[in-house]
């Protein structure tokens, strides 16, 4: 008798698990798992003003950016895998009262704030730090934007009235 399981495939690892795995084995597969975990997990960002994490933030709201290690001219969006790690970074970084507001958002949503030429640093200055270079960050951002457009188009088609004017 065949003992195949009808259970669905295992869920991809979350960001925390993927970061821990890539620290032990920096293989391409594990790096890809971090990218997937980042895009599908909640993350924490630091802002220069209060925001509830649900409404649209003010247009002048700034996200914390860090440099890319020795490349001080390379802007990187600072993203944290947990709120506790963001608090630890904030306490150690002496930000001078700026970027005191810690907010949880989806990883994919955080990618929408990435501008051309900007990368992402997950857990900057911490043992779990993970760098997403500008080219990959832009590709991920574009993928998120395209996915959102497809969802919006699908909803528009679903909500559109019939051709004869009926609902």
Higher pLDDT, 155 or 34: 34
Predicted confidence (pLDDT) per residue in 9-32, tens digit: 555 568 989 999 999 999 999 999
In a domain, 46, yes or no: yes
In a domain, 15, yes or no: no
In a domain, 6, yes or no: no
In a domain, 66, yes or no: yes
CATH (domain of 75): 3.40.1350
In a domain, 162, yes or no: no
Query: What is the reported pTM?
Result: 0.81
Q: How many separate domains does the chain show? A: 1
The proportion of the chain whose per-residue pLDDT surpasses 70, expressed as a percent, equals 87
In a domain, 23, yes or no: no
In a domain, 35, yes or no: no
One-letter-per-residue 3-state SS of the chain: CCCCCCCCCCCCCCHHHHHHHHHHCCCHHHHHHHHHHHHHCEEEEEECCCCCCCCCCCCCCCECEEEECCEEEEEEEEEECCHHHHHHHHHHHCCCCCCCEEEEEEHHHHHCCCCCCCEEEECCCCCCCEEECHHHHHHHHHHHHHHHHHHHHHHHHHHCCCCCCCC
Instruction: State which residues form the domain around 122.
Output: 42-52+61-157
Report residue 46's pLDDT band, with 50, 70 and 90 as the boundaries.
Answer: very high
In a domain, 84, yes or no: yes
């Amino acid at each position: 008798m065949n003992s195949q399981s009808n259970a669905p495939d295992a869920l991809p690892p979350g960001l925390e698990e993927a970061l821990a795995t890539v620290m032990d084995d920096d293989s391409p597969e594990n790096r890809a798992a971090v990218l997937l975990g980042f895009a599908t997990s909640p993350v924490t960002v630091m802002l220069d003003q209060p925001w509830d994490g649900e409404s649209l933030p003010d247009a002048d709201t700034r996200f914390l950016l860090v440099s890319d290690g020795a490349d001080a001219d390379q802007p990187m969006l600072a993203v944290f895998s947990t709120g506790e790690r963001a608090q630890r970074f904030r306490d150690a970084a002496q930000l001078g009262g700026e970027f005191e507001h810690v907010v949880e958002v989806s990883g994919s949503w955080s990618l929408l704030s990435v501008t051309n030429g900007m990368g992402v640093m997950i857990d900057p200055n911490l043992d779990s730090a993970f760098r997403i270079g500008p080219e990959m960050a832009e590709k991920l951002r574009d993928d998120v934007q395209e996915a959102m457009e497809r969802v919006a188009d699908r909803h528009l088609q679903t909500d559109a009235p019939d051709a004869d004017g009926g609902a």
